[in-house]
Amino acid sequence: MSMTRMPALYLSHGAPPLVDDARWVSELNQWSTDLPTPTAILMVSAHWESAPLTIGATDPSVPLTYDFGGFAEHYYRVRYDAPGAVDLAAKVAALMPDQQAVHHDSHRRLDHGAYVPLTVMYPEAQIPVLQISLPTLDPEKLLDLGRRLRPLRDEGVLIVGSGFTTHGLPFLRDWRPDAAAPAWSKEFDVWAGERFAAGDVESLIRFQTEAPGMPYAHPTAEHWSPLFVALGASDDAEQVGKQVIDGFWMGLSKRSLQLT
């Protein structure tokens, strides 16, 4: 595995049926192919909020976290037996402030916001993977968390904030994967693309009051919050990142961002 300095990513992760969407699978496959091979992957998913910062299981025999309901049975039998990133867990803990508590949860492994995209991007499951919690939804604090994690990129660690650029599930009326995007989803997506292209971090932080399509696009903030970890882990949060994936799935924006 390389020790090339890795980018930081914000990706829209998709529900378990993501693996059945040929276009999205192709896009994620191409994205991972274009990246250097990581030494390890650090995932921050919208689906794990826990304070203080909590480091997940490093034992690959611990079952995945199937944190969803109402899907076909085969989605609950998915395996992703990537090696446990024990060394990375120790490094993450060491990068946190001395006065800040860090918890370890040896019983909680990757949730679907982490393992579903990884089964597409790195299907061989040979790269060590670690998941840490979102300890807060405060953008400024998440930016700071990302800054603390930034040195890991020099060691070949791929830092991934896994969320969804729009996530207004309560307001969807058409649940088909190819459903037309509602107006609130399209409006927020256009705004997000423009703000990414401008490196406008302040507006991204104030999305709840500035972005069109709110509060429908994000009735709760957790799927937008991983963006700030990725921005903080980047060289410059105000950079113009590469918008690698766009378009919609089930009417939700899958816009995804790569940062140097």
Q: Tens digits of per-residue pLDDT, 12-22?
A: 998 899 999 99
Residue 133 near residue 229, CB atoms below 8 Å:
no
Residue of 53, 130, 132, 134 lying closest to 99 (CA atoms): 53
Alpha carbon of residue 92 to chain centroid: 17
pLDDT in tens, 91-122: 999 999 998 999 999 999 999 999 999 999 99
Indicate the pTM of the whole model: 0.96
Residue 61 near residue 177, CB atoms below 8 Å:
no
Tokens of 224: 């937008």
For residue 16, say if its preceding peptide bond is cis, omega within 30 degrees of 0. no
pLDDT in tens, 26-73: 999 999 999 999 999 999 999 999 999 999 999 999 999 999 988 899
Residue of 232, 9, 6, 37 lying closest to 139 (CA atoms): 232
Q: What are the Cα distances from residue 106, in Å, to 68, 103, 258?
A: 20, 10, 30
Residue of 25, 111, 101 lying closest to 76 (CA atoms): 111
**pLDDT value at position 70?**
86
Alpha carbon of residue 86 to chain centroid: 21
DSSP 109: -
C-alpha span between 29 and 59 (Å, rounded): 26
Residue 99 near residue 53, CB atoms below 8 Å:
no
**pLDDT value at position 249?**
95
